[in-house]
Structure 1
Amino acid sequence: MNWIYPLTIVLYSLSVFGYFIDFLQQNRKVNRLAFWLLSIVWVLQTVYFVYRAFELNRLPLITPFEGLFFYAWVVVSLSLLINWYFRVDFLVFFTNVIGFSMMAFSLFVGDSGIPESLYTLLVSELLIIHITIILLSYAAFTLSFAFSIMYVIQHQMLKKKLWGKRLVRFGSLTNLDTLANRMTIFAFPFFLIGLILGFVWAYSQFGFIPLMDAKVISSLIVLAAYAVYLYQRAVHYVRGYNMALLNIACFLLLLINYFLSGQYSEFHLWV
């Protein structure tokens, strides 16, 4: 079954490239081909995930390799689902640029597995739930980011009066703004609950909550940034271009939290 992963990477890259060609040239045939390739990628990802679960006798979520793979799988799943219901043409392209990046990055991370000394400590139901919920929130934040990127691009196109089919396929600014907000509203409580469960797990294992850990601090900063975004929308009714930029900035903080803070964390060495 080891052939599934490299095949998935190849098909994923072809799909993203197809969506890129469609974005540039407005080619519906290439768009359909890219969609079916992405659907095959989703099937292969699902098969590989289930196979790994049976092989390891646990949900494959704990190592960096497994986390990146699951992140990419959820991004593909949500982007296909939302595109099916809302018909936002370029959503799949923008979200899966990120999803493919996660899959590609996992090749450099490598599947080193869990150190034997940490296995008993890490493999617990509460930790699995914590990681699952956090990664689901990351995927939803990714979609929110994609909607905001699309909003900013369309805003610039309208400002420069670049009319055409591409502009129409973005959808309305109001719709993009609303969907970005909805995905953030969906993701935020998941992220908060995931953090709380992480604190509970840490306390149950070590007898204290490592609030001074780099990963914990950066996660709280991300939580605060998204709280500001939601507060501005819900209380002050702020909408539009500046909020899209704020949402993009929040997601960049999320990426820093995901990739960098773990390098300086004594508590999250395995993530």
Structure 2
Amino acid sequence: MLEMTMTRFYELSIILYVLSILLYFIDFLQHNRKANQLAFWLLSIVWLFQTFFFLFRIIQTGRFPVLTMSEGLYFYAWLLITLSLVINRFMRVDFIVFFTNVLAFLILAIHTFAPNHQSPAVAERLISELLIIHIAITLFAYAAFSLSFIFSILYMLQYSLLKRKKWGKRLWRMADLTKLDFMSYVLNLLGLPMLLLGLILGVIWAYIKVENFHWYDAKVLGSFLVLAVYSVYFYKRAVQQVQGKAIALWNIGSFLFLLVNFFLFGSLSRFHFWDS
């Protein structure tokens, strides 16, 4: 009973971590201080959880728990969380904070779902739950990208009507170009970190469960290419300041590539869940 309760707290830590990373990503791209503050407090709660678990482990084992791979990973994740909190509090280097937390999340997820410190029944259940979480987060990301795609399509339609000076009811029923562009951007802002976290969990699941997992699998490569394509979208928008029609077209192309990955590359995959 105690083991299952502690496991649930581990899972809660990961959920809070996901929310914190999402908020840090929003702040990184939009300089949203409210998002940064909320992310900091969520990360602080995660740190308190992890510190409690670490102290509990010290009391339980009667030693400093770093002798096994699982214990070492846990302590490593705790150190990364601690350092990211210090950096966020005193240095305000948001770029470093965001990627430090992505790495720490990866380590924490490996520790939580690795079977070597669980009973076989609990480990098998956790691995199944890990797959469910991976699928759910990835599909949420796909949904966000889909809505962003629709807003870009509306942007191009609105742009075309304005270009041809078609001042009809259809024009006035759609939002203005600025709002359509902003909503497309915000949805991608939510989708990209969720896709990243989903891929991290998916890779962890594959290493644990799939006997012949290969990085060159069509679905794996395709998914990381989708991540790269949407990362280029943000690079173009945030760094190169690409706006308007050009960025809308890139977003439309990115989503079409996502569909190719979902249907074509998925059918070529040797292990992905819809082919099993």
TM-score by length of 1: 0.53
Residue aligned with 2:243, SS: coil
Task: Count the aligned residue pairs.
Answer: 152
Q: Give the Cα separation in 1 of the matches to 2:152 and 2:242.
A: 14
The aligned residue for residue 247 of structure 1 is 251
**Aligned partners of 1:218 and 1:261 also within 8 Å:** yes
**Aligned partners of 2:135 and 2:198 also within 8 Å:** yes
Structure 2 residue runs of 5 or longer lacking an equivalent are: 1-123
> 1:170 Cα shift?
1.0
The aligned residue for residue 193 of structure 2 is 189
Q: Give the Cα separation in 2 of the matches to 1:139 and 1:177.
A: 17
> 1:205 Cα shift?
1.7
Root-mean-square deviation (CA, aligned residues, Å) is 2.0
Q: Give the Cα separation in 2 of the matches to 1:161 and 1:200.
A: 53
**Aligned partners of 1:144 and 1:181 also within 8 Å:** yes
**Aligned partners of 1:130 and 1:197 also within 8 Å:** yes
> 1:206 Cα shift?
3.7
**Aligned partners of 1:147 and 1:180 also within 8 Å:** yes
Q: Give the Cα separation in 1 of the matches to 2:257 and 2:125.
A: 29
Q: Give the Cα separation in 1 of the matches to 2:237 and 2:212.
A: 36
The aligned residue for residue 229 of structure 1 is 233
Residue from 202, 205, 210 that aligns with 1:201: 205
Q: Aligned partner of 2:220: which letter?
A: V
The aligned residue for residue 164 of structure 1 is 168
Q: Aligned partner of 1:256: which letter?
A: V
Residue aligned with 1:260, SS: helix
The aligned residue for residue 261 of structure 1 is 265
Q: What whole-Å deviation, never above 9, does each CA across 1:64-87 have from its counterpart, x for those lacking one?
A: xxxxxxxxxxxxxxxxxxxxxxxx
Q: Aligned partner of 1:244: which letter?
A: A
**Aligned partners of 2:127 and 2:205 also within 8 Å:** no
The aligned residue for residue 145 of structure 2 is 141
Residue from 120, 129, 136 that aligns with 2:133: 129
Q: Percent identity?
A: 52
**Aligned partners of 1:263 and 1:269 also within 8 Å:** no
Alignment of 1:1-271 (within 5 A): 124-206=128-210, 210-268=214-272, 270=274
Q: Give the Cα separation in 1 of the matches to 2:213 and 2:241.
A: 36
The aligned residue for residue 13 of structure 1 is none
**Aligned partners of 1:262 and 1:269 also within 8 Å:** no
The aligned residue for residue 13 of structure 2 is none
> 1:236 Cα shift?
1.5
Q: What whole-Å deviation, never above 9, does each CA across 1:145-185 have from its counterpart, x for those lacking one?
A: 00000000110111111002210111110110011000000
Q: Aligned partner of 1:222: which letter?
A: V
Q: Give the Cα separation in 1 of the matches to 2:271 and 2:125.
A: 12
**Aligned partners of 2:210 and 2:271 also within 8 Å:** no
The change in CA–CA distance for 1:193 and 1:224 in structure 2 (over 3 A counts) is: same
Runs of 4+ with >4 A deviation: 120-123
Q: Give the Cα separation in 1 of the matches to 2:159 and 2:221.
A: 34
Structure 1 residue runs of 5 or longer lacking an equivalent are: 1-119
Q: Aligned partner of 1:246: which letter?
A: W
Q: Aligned partner of 1:158: which letter?
A: L
> 1:212 Cα shift?
0.6
> 1:270 Cα shift?
2.1
The change in CA–CA distance for 1:236 and 1:246 in structure 2 (over 3 A counts) is: same
Look at both structures and tell me which one has the larger radius of gyration over its CA atoms: 2
The aligned residue for residue 66 of structure 1 is none
